[in-house]
Amino acid sequence: MTDFKDRQRGEEAKFAFDQETAFKVAARRNRLLGEWAAGLMNLTEEETDAYKKAVVQADFEEAGDEDVIRKLLGDLTAADANVTEAEIRAKLDEMAIEARRQIAGQ
């Protein structure tokens, strides 16, 4: 019985660790996306820092990535940056890979 409880605790700890890692990767990905978008909008350094935080916050509006994509598309369109939704989605995937690499390197 002790082995089962030990295994169960181990699985619970692994699940919690995986969830925490996924959260960190998503937050890092969103910061990287915000930095990319800020560059396209020619924001200052201070504006870029604030924008990165706003992109991270946008991810809490609903489950999935649609809230982040919608924010980026709206902001980039308003700034007259010629970027399509497909380009944003591709950049999202690219930044997710980079975020995983950065988190794994910590």
Question: At 18, which amino acid appears?
Answer: D
* pLDDT given for residue 10 in this prediction: 81
- Mean pLDDT for 96-101 is 96
Number of structural domains found in the chain: 1
**45 lies in which domain range?**
17-104
* pLDDT given for residue 21 in this prediction: 87
- Are the C-beta atoms of 100 and 24 separated by less than 8 Å? no
Residue 44 has pLDDT above 70, yes or no: yes
- The enclosing H or E element of 42 equals none
Prediction pTM value: 0.84
- Residue 87 belongs to some domain of the structure: yes
Reported confidence tier of residue 49, pLDDT bands at 50, 70, 90: very high
* pLDDT given for residue 50 in this prediction: 96
- Mean pLDDT for 72-97 is 95
* pLDDT given for residue 1 in this prediction: 60
Q: Which of 51, 56, 58 is nearest to 35 (CA)?
A: 51
Task: Give the pLDDT confidence of 17-43 residue by residue, as tens digits.
Answer: 878 888 899 999 999 999 999 999 999
CATH number at residue 40: 1.10.790.20
Alpha helices in the chain (DSSP H): 2-40, 45-58, 66-78, 85-104
